[in-house]
Chains A and B, each alone.
Chain A
Amino acid sequence: MSAHLSYGRVNLNILREAARKDLREFLDKCAGSKAIVWDEYLTGPFGLIAQYSLLKEHEVEKMFTLKGGRLPTADVKNIIFFVRPKLELMDIIAENVISADKMHSPRDFHILFVPRRSMLCEQRLKEQGVLGSFINIDEYILDLIPYDSDLLSMESEGAFRECYLESDQTSLYHTAKGLMTLQALYGTIPQIFGKGECARHVANMMLRMKREFAGSQTQILPVFDSLLLLDRNIDLLTPLATQLTYEGLIDEVYGITNGYVKLPPEKFAAQKKQGEAGKDLPTEPKKMQLNSAEELYAEIRDKNFNGVGAALSKKAKIISAAFEERHNAKTVGEIKQFVSQLPHMQAARSSLANHTSIAELIKDITTSEAFFDNLTVEQEFMTGVDTDKVGDTRSYLHYIKLGHNIDSSCVFAHVIPQVNAYIEDCIAQRDPLIKILRLVSMQSVCNNGLKQKVFDYYRREILQTYGYEHMLTLNNLEKTGLLKPQTSTRNNYPTIRKTLKLWMEDANEQNPNDISYVYSGYAPLSIRLAQVLARPGWRSIEEVLKMLPGPHFEERQQLPAGLHKKRQQGENRTTLVFFLGGVTYAEIAALRFLSQMEDGGTEYIIATTKLINGTSWIKSLMDRPEAQTL
């Protein structure tokens, strides 16, 4: 189940095993049969740590979802609540416990707080008069969850919103704690770099916690050479853009949650065994786990989607060639060898079939005009072109597609941002609101805000079309800096774009030579920062760093004597890049690309509060009051 976690540069299975051990220990503390009552939000992340089989081994017989009222009946000795420390949930638990007491069932109650205990919540339980009913009140420290061999996620949906909108830094505290756990397992990280307010805050807490833990340090040779903490709000642009890698597109189109994607079943119907072929088409969505355990997926997920077709057909040839081998198998030994490889080959074949189907589904979308138009406008914003002054939106598109080398910045430098006709059309046709918000935010971010008139126009259009209640959402976007009126005429974005080479005209999608391939031209700012940090260092881009919000810094952590790593000639450095507030699959792909560069010199492990895409991200920032019907 988890072997793929150990194949990376850093064996993340250690972390998973540590988490599993803690879980087992807790379960064994409650002797006898058990039922778990789940805070629904936790089931996904827990799935990455332990399957039901592990729980079953430890006498978990029933599982329920936490909800008000009376607990479902279960003939078990222990009832364990797995919850986040949220006050609302405490009230529900209290209700459960009180109604259960009435039935006089002799059951033991336990609470497991994830990721840590909360005095506030315990106080609440006390006020409700149920605190005494719990035999065990414990915490399950689950901050960073191993997601793949080079990827850790806290799976904390609200992190960006909490940090940048509500000034609630709880998730940053968890982050710092998670990094301390990581350091306990993988050694102290000698260098910490960071950019942004939250990054600074996390680094401060880490240094502070290190002092607190002084004396109980583990004597482990450091696995990570450095840590790079990046605030999401230094690069608001990247998540807004449509990801163009295979994995990124799957996420954009279908949404990947906790490593799983649900796909429309029609395409997969044919693969069923012949006996079942006659039956009706499946109506349940097909659920697939996506990670590097699947060899083919690991190969293609980070490719630009335009390169996926070729890769799949190459793979198809290899697999059919492998099956043809059977004709060459003459001796019993050869046949035996062939047979022993069969399961692997069959798995590869079904994996290929699955991904071919997915690629077809996605291709239907990427080849649509709507997708193309949307992408064009995105690219116009990112390249700094304003098309309304030039003429028709679609005509410029051809320049890009045909590779006409126009130095856009000098031709259109005088152009002021205006209401974009495409966005206007989309609103008029009542396209999904999130799409509109993504585009408008993108225009705003690329132009250091919108002119007041344009800003008001968009807002008014949105309110009139999608409803006045979105006033609050617009407010939130303004607070986080995604959507704002221009306060000065100075726009830093072109400078940043030029200095960091955020736009590469000749992005090679098939055989990339630069990270810009992940967005077919746009190189994610966040990843450029990581790249520059590795070589030649941030000193070379001081100017740009000053333009981005929040401080940038470097801290060193003293290593205990004797733990200094002696680097072999040509050995790569290992850097942990932590995105505070979320990271996209395309950015991950870009970092993986950098890891694999032959002369890169750095391998990256990626950690984040949550894997996001523009849609899920904007959604997390929306405020929809539940309206009473009038």
Chain B
Amino acid sequence: MAFITANWNPLGDAFYRQIELYDMGWSLRDGLKDCMVAAAPYGGPIVLLEWQSQRPSPSARPQLEIYSSSGVSMASFPWKSGPVRQLGWTVCDDLLAIQEDGTVLIYDLFGTFKRHFSMGNEVVQNQVLEAKVFHSPYGTGVAIVTGASRFTLAMNIDDLKLRRLPEVPGLQGAPSCWAVLTQDRQTKVLLANGADLYILDNTSCTPVTPPGLSPQACSIINMAVSFSYKYLALFTDSGHLWMGSTNLKDKLSEVETKVRSAPKQMVWSRRPKSQQPSVVLMWDRLLLVAGVCKETIQYTLDEECVCVAELDGVRIVGASRHEMLQEVPSACEDIFKIASMAPGALLLEAHKEYEKCSQKADEYLREIKEQSVLGEAVKQCVEAAGYEHEPETQKTLLRAASFGKCFLSNFPPEPFVSMCRDLRVLNSVRDYSVGIPLTHTQYKQMTVQVLIDRLVYRKLYPLAIEICRYLKTPEYQGVSRVLKHWACCKVQQKEEPDESIARAVSVKLGEAAGISYSEIAARAYECGRTELAIKLLEFEPRSGEQVPLLLKMKRSQLGLSKAIESGDTDLVYTVVTYLKNEMNRGDFFMTLRNQPVALSLYRQFCKHQEQETLKDLFNQDDDHHELGNFYVRASYKESKLEARLSLLQSAVDEYNKAKNEFAAKATEEEMKLLRFQRRLDEEKGEALLGLSLHDTLHALLSANYHKQAEQLYRDFRVPDKRYWWLKLTALAEKEDWDELEKFAKSKKSPIGYLPFVEVCVKRHNKYEAKKYVSKVTPEQKVKAHLAIGDLEGAAEAAIERRSEGEISTVLARCSPTTDRALLERLNRARSTAAKK
């Protein structure tokens, strides 16, 4: 096991180790010398651009090359745009090239130009002196400092909002060093001008002093902010390295490096739960790891290198090698440190003996068990396996863990199983051909979703699908998503005919669930392949998704049918309004006519929003009945009688055309009534206009216009029964009892005389009511008597009629005070009636 610790170096009470990631696959003529280099974190791609300023001939074009972390070429092309100040990568592996004139060009991983944006007009004149690309929770940002010593920030390049920061007093040209900080949801610039340190935010420039910085220093010449933006390191021209928190409140340590020249690069090396964080400084031939404990480790560099800060260490990329420098995680330290007696170390030893079929295995095991730390031992081995880069070491540790697990009864299998899975995935992406040297810590931080995205972005579709299947990612998050990207890429292959692409896509995607065909179609449409897009849309099960794209492609008719299919009326409305603006009226109406669902929705829309259009619609359909209704509705909006009448006349005409006799006649009668009301209003000053016929009659009778009422009654052929009721009520209401009696005697009542009784009672006039009781038919006698409270009369009538029901009704109205004799008679009569 000794060889594992061979490249360990102590730093304070911790160790630092170098892990060899790759022998680089590229062949660079001059190494990394004279190159502008940018490597993305999380084992991302590396971009190289030959250093321009030192090129003698202005006509020579620098070459831009993109490699994977293992040095496999992904793109290479001559740089034809303006001089580049800075290269960088976005969080989603896009390349940013920041030019002197402030233009930022965005390329994808394969060197395809995507888009560009500018850092502001002011920059064009003053030029960019320096630029930095930074990452924050808001996305990828760009910060520049111009020739006028002004800083401009773009927090998120996908949602570009430029912020010009306030002036820094006394700053000429570029500051001696600077960095971007993200703190408290705010992005700031920290800069040093000589010995002065400033924090620059949106509104102000504040001078700050790091606590306990050595006074010997005249100038701060380099600074580094940790991956998490929590820690800051400053390097001064006196060779001191100050380490502290970014809020400048705490000092961690200060190290005297004895090197006074400015380091080429300076980065933090920390890991989650770091025992001994450090800052890695790089000079031409020297790499210095300075720990918080003030100790240092020195490495000699035999070639030009670039440091890449990671979440849990620093990657060092050279022309021939790619290494990872990190603090040894405590689990690994415990297990592999020479003479370690940690549970994990013992378990590993036990397993080794077991493999050798040695009884010592048992001794080791017993020792672990005696301390009852077997669970911890297994845990340690599993954890350490995650930190190891070599598959062989991983396997050894996992085997040991698995061996230890056998002696535990209820050890949860989950951590072991998921670690095996994770490592399998990691080893496959670390493979030279893929070249993503992710550590387990980074992988967990990044999530499998993002890893899949990155693979997809690199067009490593088969590997991505394999991983999804292996991890049993739900289809719509995993395989389907990868396939969608594959299809989006596929539709861009210009040389293949539409037909074969559509077929290929449908064959591959056919069974995958939750595929968004409309996204693929949208991509096809963007590439100018409308026909292909339409073909692809046919596969889309969600009509809601199809419609907007169909409209965009001017396939509105198809869009309309799809909208209707979806059942989403809002979508139908959307297409209809779109069509309305796109087409001429005739065509529009014709289209609707063929789509009844859309038509009825449009009618509803017009009813509330465009009355006149509604009329046109009915006209087109020769729907005379609805036209009639339309005019009726419209007539009520008129406040002038003539206007109302003329609209009603139109309604009559339409109803006649619709052969709706009843409606036509009813409307004519209404017109007649209106005219009659007006005449009467003019003559007598009554406010009758607009009342119903019934109410008009009532008003007339109440006002003693009996003649006019009679006339209306005859003209409008009001049924006798209703007229009698009407007159009866009207007379009773004004308590015109004489007139009522006259009316009752005028001829035989078609409604009988019970209503007369009841109406009088209702007006509390029993005296009048009694007058009509005798006229009531025998069937209603009981009721009439009861109405006026004449119990005896009711009893007589009921007994006479021998109706069990009626007798019961009377009995129900009897009270304890009722005459006993009457009660007996009633009861007797009831039993006789019942026998019958």
- Name A residues whose Cβ lies closer than 8 Å to a Cβ of B: 85, 87-88, 116-120, 123, 166-170, 172-173, 176, 201, 204-205, 208, 211-216, 392, 394-395, 398, 401-402, 424-425, 427-430, 456, 459-461, 463-469, 471-472, 475, 623, 625-630
Contact = CB atoms under 8 A, between A and B. Distances in A.
Contact of A172 (B544, B567, B573, B605): B567
A428 B574 contact: no
Interface string B691-720: 111110000000000000000000010110
A85 B569 contact: no
B567 A215 contact: no
Interface stretch (B248-256, B268-276, B485-493, B594-602): B594-602
Nearest to B803: A398
10 contacts: A87-B609, A167-B597, A173-B568, A208-B541, A208-B565, A215-B475, A428-B751, A430-B694, A464-B716, A468-B673
Contacts of B751: 425, 428
A70 to B, nearest CB: 24
Interface centre among B633, B662, B667, B751 (most CB of A within 10 A): B662
A89 B636 CA distance: 24
Interface string B297-312: 0000000000000000
A195 B673 CA distance: 46
Contacts of B544: 212
Contacts of A471: 629, 632, 663, 666-667
B601 A215 contact: no
B725 A429 contact: yes
Given A213-B514, A428-B726, 6 more contacts: A87-B605, A173-B569, A215-B476, A464-B693, A464-B716, A465-B722
A472 B629 contact: yes
B605 to A, nearest CB: 8
B694 A464 contact: yes
Interface string B644-686: 1000000000000000001100110110010000000000000
B212 interface: no
Contacts of B573: 118-120
A194 B571 CA distance: 26
Given A424-B721, A630-B641, A212 B693 contact: no
B633 A472 contact: yes
B719 A120 contact: no
A213 B480 CA distance: 13
Contacts of B499: none
A601 B259 CA distance: 89
A459 to B, nearest CB: 7
Contact of B666 (A123, A168, A395, A463): A463
Nearest to B834: A402
B96 to A, nearest CB: 30
Contacts of A201: 567
A215 B473 CA distance: 11
A85 B423 CA distance: 51
Contacts of A166: 600, 603-604
Q: Is the interface of B mostly helix, strand, loop or mixed?
A: helix
B661 to A, nearest CB: 9
A461 B662 CA distance: 12
B779 A465 contact: no
Nearest to B476: A215
Interface centre among A117, A176, A205, A468 (most CB of B within 10 A): A468
A169 B567 contact: yes
B666 A468 contact: yes
B574 A123 contact: yes
B567 A464 contact: no
A628 B638 CA distance: 6
B604 A205 contact: no
Contact of A167 (B513, B571, B596, B694): B596
A120 B690 CA distance: 39
A98 B804 CA distance: 75
A212 B641 CA distance: 57
Given A625-B637, A630-B639, A630-B640, A461 B719 contact: yes
A95 to B, nearest CB: 16
B506 to A, nearest CB: 16
Contacts of A85: 570
Interface string B67-89: 00000000000000000000000
B721 A401 contact: no
A471 B633 CA distance: 10
Nearest to B716: A464
A168 B601 contact: yes
Q: Which 7 A-B pairs have CB atoms at the shortest separation, nearest pair first?
A: A215-B513, A215-B514, A428-B725, A167-B600, A215-B476, A398-B805, A467-B692
B722 A169 contact: no
Interface centre among A170, A215, A629, by most B CB within 10 Å? Answer: A215
B542 interface: yes
A214 B567 contact: no
Contacts of B568: 173
Nearest to A176: B567
B639 to A, nearest CB: 4
B596 A214 contact: no
A626 B514 contact: no
A627 B690 contact: yes
B608 to A, nearest CB: 7
Contact of A173 (B567, B719, B804): B567
A625 B633 contact: yes
A398 B568 CA distance: 54
B779 A428 contact: no
A168 B667 contact: no
Nearest to B542: A212
B474 interface: yes
B600 A402 contact: no
Interface string B547-584: 00000000000000000011111110110010000000
A425 B729 CA distance: 13
A88 B608 contact: yes
Contact of A215 (B480, B638, B669, B779): B480
A627 B597 contact: no
Given A119-B570, A212-B541, A630-B689, A461 B779 contact: no
Contacts of A460: 662, 666
Contact of A629 (B514, B604, B639): B639
A464 B692 contact: yes
Nearest to B673: A468
A120 B600 contact: no
Interface in B158-183: none
**Looking at B565, B570, B605, B632, which has the most chain A CB atoms within 10 Å of its CB?**
B570
Nearest to B660: A475
A429 B569 contact: no
Given A472-B632, A630-B690, A116 B570 contact: yes
Contacts of A205: 567
Name the residue in B480, B605, B669, B692 with the highest tally of chain A Cβ atoms < 10 Å from its Cβ: B692
B752 to A, nearest CB: 10
A169 B541 contact: no
B602 to A, nearest CB: 10
Contacts of A424: 719, 721-722
Contacts of B608: 87-88
Interface in B430-478: 474-476
A447 B143 CA distance: 82
B192 to A, nearest CB: 36
Contacts of A401: 805
Nearest to B475: A215
B340 to A, nearest CB: 46
A376 to B, nearest CB: 12
A285 B438 CA distance: 71
A160 B20 CA distance: 73
Contacts of A169: 567, 569, 597
B636 A628 contact: yes
Interface in B492-546: 512-514, 541-542, 544
Contact of A119 (B574, B603, B629, B693): B574
